[in-house]
């Protein structure tokens, strides 16, 4: 267990209802990413890399506005939504 894992929040949706939410695995995936386990991070939460890229661009755009910053952020947000919803459906209903 990494030092970061002792501070992770539990998923209340999973605790009370017994099913994963669309964010389940994000904290653990980020922890795996920090520890250099890149393939495992992707398997845990497939949107991890596009989320990191999106937040990186948001951060850069906040200090130095990019020419196509808004369109890029919007495109990445939509891509993230598609990846998160698709992986949730696959994990919940199709892959057991």
Range of the domain at 55: 19-94
Residue 8 lies in a domain: no
Residue 48 lies in a domain: yes
Residue 9 lies in a domain: no
Q: How far is residue 38's CA from residue 92's CA, in Å, rounded to a whole number?
A: 23
| Model pLDDT for residues 34-78, shown as the tens digit of each residue | 888 899 989 888 999 999 999 999 999 999 988 888 899 999 999
Residue 87 lies in a domain: yes
More confident residue, 59 or 27: 59
Sign of the CA dihedral running 17, 18, 22, 26: positive
What counts of helices (H) and strands (E) characterise the chain?
5, 0
- Alpha carbon dihedral 28, 34, 37, 40, in 10-degree steps, equals 30
Residue 2 lies in a domain: no
Name the nearest CA neighbour of 88 among 49, 53, 55, 46.
Answer: 46
Q: What is the pTM of this model?
A: 0.81
Q: How far is residue 28's CA from residue 33's CA, in Å, rounded to a whole number?
A: 9
Residue 75 lies in a domain: yes
Residue 12 lies in a domain: no
Any idea what DSSP says for residue 5?
G
What domain count does the chain have?
A: 1
Q: How far is residue 49's CA from residue 69's CA, in Å, rounded to a whole number?
A: 18
Residue 1 lies in a domain: no
């Amino acid at each position: 267990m990494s030092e970061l894992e002792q501070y992770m929040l539990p998923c209340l949706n999973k605790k009370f209802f017994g099913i994963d939410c669309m964010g389940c695995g994000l904290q653990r995936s980020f922890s795996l990413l920090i520890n250099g386990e890149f393939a495992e991070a992707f398997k845990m939460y497939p949107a991890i890399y596009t989320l990191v890229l999106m937040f990186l661009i948001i951060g850069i755009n906040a200090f130095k506005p990019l020419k196509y910053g808004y369109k890029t952020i919007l495109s990445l947000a939509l891509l993230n939504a598609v990846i998160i919803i698709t992986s949730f459906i696959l994990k919940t209903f199709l892959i057991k």
